[in-house]
Structure 1
């Protein structure tokens, strides 16, 4: 799915090792809410038009992958609750999941997960 066709809703992300359920937060309210108030996530959350994230008030540690315009991973890290990540200026989107998920799925800098319905 081309970057300009990302729409709010649900789909899947194909990673090097798995096909994962995906929520797409493409509107401001959904991006602002993100994973706040949840105890976990089954799959991943894609935040569009975002260069930075935080875990202030979150209940669990997350894996964060920064994606460029082509949905290629440019950087990634694990972010515990109550932290603020520095913006990644090359990033256009962020893919979040529960801590440890990105390693299991084979997500690392340079890979290009495919997002689809």
Structure 2
């Protein structure tokens, strides 16, 4: 799985972003994986909705358009729930509370650091 770094407009970074861009990686997502740290995330593309069926921990879900603009944030999505965003083309999954910790908000444009 590919890894990259994303930066927020305020200079915060998520240094270890796993990219799920194949059908198998998108299907698996974070199932069966350890909880994310505050320096990790999973970018799923293409994607406009997620579920936490089978998950054991909550996530923050950041919906992005094709230009990496934050369209919506679903904070603390608990296990066995779902969420979606019209217009999103990719989703950044973060540890619960990390979108607040990294000060990510709708309208922000995330940039690739590599």
Q: If the length of structure 2 is used for normalisation, what is the TM-score?
A: 0.89
2:50 maps to 1:53: yes
Any conservation in 2 of the 1:53–1:84 contact (CA below 8 Å)?
yes
Match of 1:37 in 2: 32
1:17 is displaced (CA, Å) by 4.3
User: What's the CA shift string for 1:30-58, capped at 9, x where partnerless?
Assistant: 11111111230131110011010000000
1:80 aligned residue: 78
Gaps of 5+ in 1: 1-7
**Would you say how many aligned residue pairs link Structure 1 and Structure 2?**
109
Give ranges in structure 2 of 5+ residues lacking alignment: none
Q: CA RMSD in A?
A: 1.3
The structure with the greater share of residues assigned to strand is 2
**Conserved 8 A contact 1:39-1:59:** no
In the TM superposition, 1:1-117 aligns within 5 A as 9-15=2-8, 16-20=10-14, 21-42=16-37, 43-78=40-75, 79-85=77-83, 87-117=84-114
> What are the Cα deviations for residues 55-97 of structure 1, in whole angstroms up to 9, with x where unaligned?
0000110000100110100001121011021x31210000001
